[in-house]
Amino acid sequence: MIDTSEYIIAAFILIGAFFGVVTAIGLIRLPDLYTRTHAASKSATLGVMSVLIGALLFFLTEEGLFNSRIVLGIFFVLITAPVGGHLIARAAYNSGVKLAPETVQDDLAKKEQYEAKKKKNSSRD
């Protein structure tokens, strides 16, 4: 007895597992911390959310119970995981972790000079 809902559930869980693997490969392959947090915070969030949606649909169709805690978990992961990535990357930049050698442009490095120049210009006006 395989109906369409089971295909949809399997698709969600396989997509989630695929994005988990993509995250792991990204963490190994990417050159520096900033690209790695990019991989970890984006695709891991999507992967976990897909697996949770699959679990929600599974319990909804098989057992007929709507588990609101899973919905809360999806919402929670959606909000907190990117913020975690942001905080890791910012803490790394503030403590002076080097960017990858392929980096073309680093605008934040010139922030101090830029703000000093802006202050000087505004005082002149």
Binding site for other proteins (CB under 8 A): 69, 72, 75-76, 79-80, 83, 86-87, 94, 111-112
At its nearest, how many Å lie between other proteins and the CB of residue 24?
Answer: 26
Query: In this complex, which beta carbon is closest to other proteins, that of residue 69 or of residue 119?
Result: 69
Q: Structure tokens of 89?
A: 């990357």
Candidates 6, 34, 49, 36; CA nearest to 103 is 34
**93, 99, 105, 108: CA torsion to nearest 10:** 10
- Among residues 13 and 52, whose Cβ is nearest to other proteins? 52
Dist. CA 70–CA 49, nearest whole Å: 10
For other proteins, the closer CB: 20 or 73:
73
CB of 92 to other proteins, least distance (A): 14
